[in-house]
Chains A and B, each alone.
Chain A
Amino acid sequence: MIEETLDIATTDGAMETFICHPSVAVRSPR
C-alpha cells in the first residue's frame, strides 16, 4: 500500500488530502 498526505489545489486554497492506493503498477482493481 502506498500512502501519502499532500495538498490538492482548489479554488479556495490547498486541501490537505490523505491518499492511499495499492501500488503504481496496479491500474485496475481487478
Chain B
Amino acid sequence: MLLMDAHGVRDELRDMARRLGTVGYYVLLPNLYYRAGRDTIYGPTVSENGSAEHTRMRAVRTKMTIPPVMADVAAMLAFIDRQEAAKGGPVGAHGYCMSGPYALAAAARYPDRIAAAASFYGTWLVNDAEESPHLNLGKVKGELYIACAEHDELAPLPMVDELRGLFRRAGTAGEIELYPRVHHGFAFPQRWCYDKPAAERHWERLIALYRRRLG
C-alpha cells in the first residue's frame, strides 16, 4: 500500500507506484480523500500555499483522522486477499507526509498482516491524535522504517528525538533515520526540494525492507 501525501493522488505518485510494481509487488494507491467526493484530485498549484487548489485540498486534509483510514486499510487487506495476482501473506504499507502516521498506525492496528511499514517525512508522528503512532509502537510485530528530513517544520527534530526514545523503549524492530540537508518532500520528483541521492536512498531502504519482510 502506497499511502498518499496531502497533495493527493497524481501522476507523480502513480509513477512511484509503478516503480514499486516493477520490482514485483502488487501496489495499491488509494485516494484517501474519497469521503469528500470524487473531486479530490488537485492540479499542480496545490503545492503553492494560498492557491485555490491548495485551499481546496486543505479543506479536506484538515478533516483527516487516523481511525477512518484504518478502516480503509482493512478494506484494502480484504481486497488484496481476493486478488489472484497478489501473493498471499504479509503486506507492506508506506506513507508520505500526512500518511506516514497512517502507515505506522496500520502496522499497530493490524500487526498480524502488516509486516513492514515505512514513513517518509511523516507529519506529527508524536501528537495527541487517536492512534498516534507513538502510542502503539509496542503493538507492532513487523518492522518499521521511519525516515525524517533534517529540515521539516511538520516533523521537527525535537519530535524526532522524542520518537526515537519511545521507539527504543518499545523495543520495536526497525529504525529511525534522519536524512541530512534535505527538506520535507525530498523523494517527490516534481517537488521543489527533490533531492535525487536522498530519494534514491529512500527507494533502496524501502525495497530492502519489503524484501526482508514480504519476500
A3, A9, A29: which contacts B211 (Cβ < 8 A)? A29
In the complex, chain A residues whose CB is within 8 Å of the CB of B18: 1, 3, 20
Known A-B contacts A10-B72, A11-B75, A16-B38; A22 and B30 likewise in contact (beta carbons under 8 Å): no
Give the CA-CA distance A1 to B79 in the complex, in Å: 19
Residues from chain B with a CB closer than 8 A to the CB of A13 are 34-35
Within the assembled complex, what's the spacing in Å between the Cα atoms of A26 and B87?
Answer: 9
Chain B residue at minimum C-beta to C-beta distance from A24? B85
Question: Would you give the shortest CB distance from B118 to chain A, in whole angstroms?
Answer: 16
Contacts A1-B21, A12-B35, A29-B215 known; A17 to B85 CB distance under 8 Å?
A: no
**Chain A residues in 8 Å Cβ range of B13:** 18
Q: How many positions in chain B have a CB within 8 Å of any CB in the partner chain?
A: 34
Would you give the shortest CB distance from B32 to chain A, in whole angstroms?
8
Q: How far is the CB of B21 from chain A (nearest CB, A)?
A: 4
List chain A residues, Cβ under 8 A from B34.
Answer: 10, 12-16
Assembled-state Cα–Cα distance A2/B81 (Å): 18
- Interface size of A by Cβ–Cβ distance < 8 Å? 25
B163 located at the interface, meaning its Cβ lies under 8 Å from any Cβ of chain A in the complex: no
Q: How far is the CA of A10 from the CA of B30 in the complex (A)?
A: 11
Q: Name B59-80 residues within 8 Å CB distance of A.
A: 68, 71-72, 75-76, 79
Q: Is B52 an interface position by the 8 A CB rule?
A: no
**A16 near B30: Cβ-Cβ < 8 Å:** yes
Q: With A15-B30, A18-B14, A21-B21 in contact, is A10–B85 under 8 Å at CB?
A: no
* B binding-site residues for A, Cβ under 8 Å: 9, 13-14, 17-18, 21-32, 34-35, 38, 68, 71-72, 75-76, 79, 84-87, 210-211, 214-215
* Sample of 8 further A-B pairs with CB below 8 A, known A12-B71, A27-B87: A12-B68, A18-B17, A20-B14, A21-B25, A21-B27, A22-B22, A24-B84, A29-B25
19 A-B pairs with C-beta separation under 8 A: A1-B18, A1-B21, A2-B85, A8-B76, A10-B34, A16-B31, A17-B30, A17-B76, A19-B26, A19-B28, A20-B14, A21-B21, A21-B25, A22-B21, A22-B22, A22-B24, A27-B85, A29-B23, A30-B215
**A interface vs B, CB < 8 Å?**
1-3, 8-24, 26-30
